[in-house]
Homo-oligomer: A and B are copies of this chain.
Amino acid sequence: MTASKASSRVIPIRDFSSCSYCSVRRLCLPHGVNDDDLQTVEKIVEHRPHYDKGDHIFHQSSKFSSLFAIKSGSVKTFGVTRDGKEQITGFHFPGELLGLDAICNEVHNCNAVALEQTVVCEISYDNIESMVGEIPSLHSDFARLMSKELRRDDEMLMILGNMSAEQRVSCFLYNLHRRMKRQDDVQDEIHLPMTREEIGNYLGLSLETVSRRLTGLQQADIITVHNRSIKLQDIERLRSHCM
């Protein structure tokens, strides 16, 4: 393997838990590290907490000091309303960064809970700030990350604003598909790490409605449902259901 095509070389096994595929690796790894050094470098990253299903990564109202990059697994973030109900504001997957909404006042705005066995990198925000001081170009990366998060939220606002139940579920699956497809070789099969109730909570629907719409999409030969695994039979038609 030559080093001539450094930026586009093929990585033999797609290990998405490695730093190579992490969208925030420029934030936690030393400046100027190249791809070949990554495997060495990532072994010295310090905090790599493992979480089981149901474990809290951080709590609402707790003091913010670190961001968390998801290496493997999946996470839900949710707020708790004053009458005690939880409202899910997002599902998060490997390569994504948690805790950005806590920067503004250094208090976590939501709870983050693992939906399955999950590994994250804890990145001290002080470290990030001092690294941005030394390497100003990191600011751009960081701003882009936050901007992307804003865009995702706005997309969700558009879904919740005026879409029907069927459209919401279709959008949910389609977006999941788009986010997953860098992660699975089997691109047209999604494994849902969350319950129907959690999907409904997120989409502003009851769990029964989620269930009904999934079977509806199945009867239309658009998907095949097997418990939590969803096979996308006709992605184009799924996409057309989103509008």
A residues neighboring B (CB under 8 Å): 79, 81-83, 85, 87-90, 100-104, 109-110, 129, 132-133, 136, 139-140, 142-151, 153-154, 156-158, 160-162, 201-202, 204, 242-243
In the complex, the answer to whether A151 meets B89 with C-beta atoms within 8 Å is no
Cβ of A151 and Cβ of B101 under 8 Å apart? yes
Q: Which of B89, B100, B144, B160 contacts A103 (CB 8 A)?
A: B144
- Chain B residues whose C-beta falls within 8 Å of the C-beta of A145 in the assembled complex: 104
- A142 / chain B contacts, CB cutoff of 8 Å: 139, 143
A151 to chain B: closest residue by CB: B101
Given A154-B89, A154-B110, A154-B153, decide whether A201 and B147 contact each other with a Cβ distance below 8 A.
Answer: no
Do the beta carbons of A83 and B243 come within 8 Å of each other? Answer: yes
Contact, CB under 8 Å: A140 / B149 = no
